[in-house]
Amino acid sequence: MYASLRSKYPPLVNRGRDLHQQDNARPHTSCITREKIEELEGIEFLPHPVYSANLAPSDYHMSRSMASFFRERRFSNIDELERSCLALRAAQPSFSVFHVQFKSS
């Protein structure tokens, strides 16, 4: 995996420090944890944004719904997969943070 990162994102790998994306979970934001993080050398911690539509993790219930929905399903083409994803999204409550975007290749 590291070789793959090195070839795809050389500026991130060649900076001499490891990057770690920090989330806002309580154990990660406690004073003791923050103090220990500041002591670490060679690791750069990126703060997790308070809210970002692009970076916000999928909610727990949606992940479970997806796992159940896609379990043992096989798709013969990308259109069939896309229709299934859209059907899953339509079945979710309106408060779900899950969003599906398809990139054209």
Contacts of 61 (CB under 8 A, 6+ apart): 96
Distance of CA 34 to the CA centre of its chain: 22
Token pair for residue 23? 């989330």
The candidate with the shortest Cα–Cα distance to 96, out of 50, 71, 67, 64, is 64
pLDDT tens digits for 70-105?
888 888 988 898 888 888 877 766 554 445 454 554
Provide the 10 A C-beta neighbour count for residue 37. Answer: 13
| Domains of the chain, earliest start first | 1-95 (3.30.420.10)
- Mean predicted confidence (pLDDT) in 57-61: 54
Three-state DSSP class for residue 21: strand
